[in-house]
Amino acid sequence: MPFTPQRERVVDEVLRADGHFGAEDLCQRLAVGRRRVSRATVYRALELLVASGVLQKLSFGEDHYRFERTPIGRHHDHLVCGRCGRVIEFFNAKIEELQNDICKEVGFSPEGHSLVISGLCKDCRSAGLSDESDDNETRM
C-alpha cells in the first residue's frame, strides 16, 4: 500500500498523541485544516499501525477501542475508571511472575497479554461519585 500524504498525517498525529486515544478522537483532529483526512483513511491506517506493531489496540469495556503506542521496554497493565474513563498504567513484577507461573503450570506458551482492572479512580471515589448500577445493586 502506498504511503500517501493522508497516511503520513495520521502517523504524525499518532506519534504526537500522548497516552490512550480513540479512533474518533483522531478523526476529529484530522478533520480540520486544509489537508483533511477521511474517517476511512484513519481507520485503515490505524489497523496497519496495529498490524505492524507500532500501536496496540485496547478494549477497556467501552463501545470502542482505544489505541496507544506500543511501549518499548517494560510491559504495563491498566486500571480504568468506570465513571470518568481515566486510564492509569501500572507495572507489578509479582503479577507478571504469577502469570508466567500459571502459563508454565499448564504448558501454555504466552505471546502477550492484557490486564485491565475496572473500578473507580481515587478522584471519583473521593467526590462520592459511583456508577448508577452500583447504587441499584446496593438498594436490592
Give me the tens of pLDDT residue by residue for the chain, a chain 140 residues long.
Answer: 677 878 888 888 888 887 788 889 898 888 877 778 888 989 999 998 888 878 888 777 677 788 887 776 677 888 989 888 888 888 888 998 999 999 999 999 987 777 888 899 999 988 875 544 444 343 33
Smallest CA-to-CA distance from 58 within 3, 129, 118 is with 118
Specify the pTM.
0.60
Asked, colleague to colleague, whether 1-70 and 73-140 share their fold, the answer is no
**pLDDT value of position 16:** 85
Q: What is the pLDDT of residue 124?
A: 92
According to the model, what pLDDT value does residue 70 have? 76
What is the assigned CATH class of domain 1-70? mainly alpha
In this structure, what C-alpha cell is assigned to residue 129?
Answer: 461519585
Residue 104 pLDDT = 95
Please state which architecture CATH assigns to domain 73-140.
2-Layer Sandwich (3.30)
Q: Residue ranges per domain, the chain? A: 1-70, 73-140
